[in-house]
C-alpha cells in the first residue's frame, strides 16, 4: 500500500510573521510545484496570513497549531476553523503533548476539536504519545490506545481519509532523543492495528501515521523506511529551510 508521505513543520511559538514569510518562501522556492510529498508548515496564528501568501502557487500547504471548536463568539484568545479557512489553512495540529501538558487538554476536548475541524473541512493532525514515565512503566501501547480512540470517538469512517495521526513520544520531543526506528515502528503498527479494528483494513491502510520527536536529516531515512511511518511532524528541524528541505528529500526518496 503506498501512502503519500507528509512532512509537516510545527513551528510552535517561533517566527514573527516576517520571519515566517522568509522561511516559507525559501522552502517554497526549493520545492516549487513538486507535490510528490505533502509538505505542510504550521506557523503561529499571527503568521498564518503572511505565510499563506508566501506559499501561494507552490505545492506547500498551510496548517494551524490549534483551533477552538466553535464557529465564533466570546472565546477570548481563540481562533475558529472559519478564520483558519479564510487564510487557506488545510490542516490543524490537535492534541499536541505541549497543549495536553501546559493547557490541560483532555482526550474529550481534543475529540471535540477533531470533529469540529473535520466538519469544517480542515484536516486534523491528531498527536498522541507517551511520557518517559509511561514508557518505563510499560504503558506505551495503552496510553496510545486511549489517546487514539479518545481523539477519534464518533469520527466516522468516511472522514478518516482526512485524518492524519502523529505518534510523538513525549520524551523525544525537543530532547535530541529519538525513538529508534524499531521502537517507532512497533507503536505505528499498533496504531494501524487499532485503526483496522475500528474502521477496517481498507481505511486503516490509507491513514498516514507520522512520527514526531527530534526527527532530523540524520535520522529521517531510517525512520521513514519503516513500513508504518508515513512522514514526520517536525519541530526544531522545521525552523531551518535546509534541514526541512532535506527531510522532504528523504521522504521523496522513501516514496
Cβ nearer to ligand PGA, comparing 124 with 235: 235
Residue 189 CB burial class (10 angstroms; 0-12, 13-18, ≥19): middle
Name the phi and psi angles at 222, rounded to 5: -70, -35
* Stretch (H or E) spanning 94: strand 89-94
96 is catalytic: yes
Catalytic residue among 112, 130, 168, 188: 168
Which of 37, 60, 233, 247 is close enough to bind ligand PGA by CB under 6 A? 233
Q: How many residues of this chain interact with ligand PGA, rule: CB under 6 A?
A: 13
CB of 161 to ligand PGA, least distance (A): 23
Contact call for residue 234 and ligand PGA (CB under 6 A): yes
Which of 44, 80, 140, 214 is close enough to bind ligand PGA by CB under 6 A? 214
Instruction: Spell out a b/e string for 200-221, using b for 16 or more CB atoms within 10 Å of the CB, else e.
Output: eeebbebbbbbbbbbbbeebbe
Contact call for residue 248 and ligand PGA (CB under 6 A): no
132: which 3 cell numbers? 518517559
* Cβ atoms 103, 188 nearer than 8 A: no
Task: Provide the CA 119 distance to its chain's centre, in angstroms.
Answer: 18
Contact call for residue 63 and ligand PGA (CB under 6 A): no
**What is the SS3 assignment for 48?**
helix
Which of 40, 213, 224, 245 is close enough to bind ligand PGA by CB under 6 A? 213
Binding mask 147-186 for ligand PGA (x = CB under 6 A): ---------------------x----xx------------
Spatial CB neighbours of 111, under 8 Å, sequence gap ≥ 6: 150, 151, 152, 153, 154, 155
CB of 102 to ligand PGA, least distance (A): 12
Select from 84-92, 106-114, 136-144, 207-215 the region that touches ligand PGA (CB under 6 A): 207-215
Cβ nearer to ligand PGA, comparing 62 with 199: 62
Rounded to an integer, what distance in angstroms lies between the CA atom of residue 241 and that of residue 63?
Answer: 17
Instruction: List contacts with ligand PGA (CB under 6 A).
Output: 10, 168, 173-174, 212-215, 233-237
Amino acid at each position: 500500500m503506498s501512502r503519500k508521505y507528509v512532512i509537516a513543520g510545527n513551528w510552535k511559538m517561533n517566527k514573527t510573521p516576517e520571519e515566517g514569510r522568509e522561511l516559507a518562501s525559501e522552502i517554497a522556492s526549493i520545492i516549487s510545484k513538486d507535490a510528490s510529498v505533502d509538505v505542510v508548515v504550521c506557523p503561529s496564528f499571527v503568521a498564518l496570513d503572511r505565510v499563506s501568501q508566501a506559499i501561494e502557487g507552490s505545492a506547500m500547504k498551510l496548517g494551524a497549531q490549534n483551533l477552538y471548536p466553535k464557529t465564533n463568539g466570546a472565546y477570548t484568545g481563540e481562533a475558529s476553523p472559519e478564520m483558519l479557512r479564510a487564510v487557506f489553512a488545510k490542516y490543524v495540529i490537535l492534541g499536541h503533548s505541549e497543549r495536553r501538558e501546559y493547557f490541560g487538554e483532555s482526550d474529550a476536548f481534543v475529540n471535540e476539536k477533531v470533529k469540529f475541524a473535520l466538519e469544517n473541512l480542515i484536516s486534523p493532525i491528531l498527536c498522541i504519545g507517551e511520557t518517559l514515565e509511561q514508557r518505563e512503566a510499560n504503558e506505551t501501547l495503552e496510553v496510545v490506545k486511549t489517546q487514539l480512540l479518545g481523539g477519534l470517538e464518533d469520527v466516522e469512517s468516511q472522514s478518516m481519509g482526512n485524518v492524519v495521526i502523529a505518534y510523538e513520544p513525549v520524551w523525544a520531543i525537543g530532547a535530541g532523543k529519538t525513538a529508534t526506528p524499531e521502537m517507532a515502528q512497533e507503536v505505528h503498527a499498533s496504531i494501524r492495528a487499532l485503526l483496522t479494528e475500528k474502521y477496517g483494513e481498507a481505511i486503516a491502510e490509507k491513514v498516514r501515521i507520522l512520527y514526531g520527536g527530534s526527527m532530523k536529516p540524520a535520522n529521517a531515512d531510517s525512520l521513514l523506511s519503516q513500513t508504518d511511518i508515513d512522514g514526520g511532524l517536525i519541530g526544531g528541524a522545521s525552523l531551518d529551510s535546509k534541514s526541512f528541505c532535506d527531510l522532504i528529500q528523504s521522504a521523496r526518496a522513501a516514496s
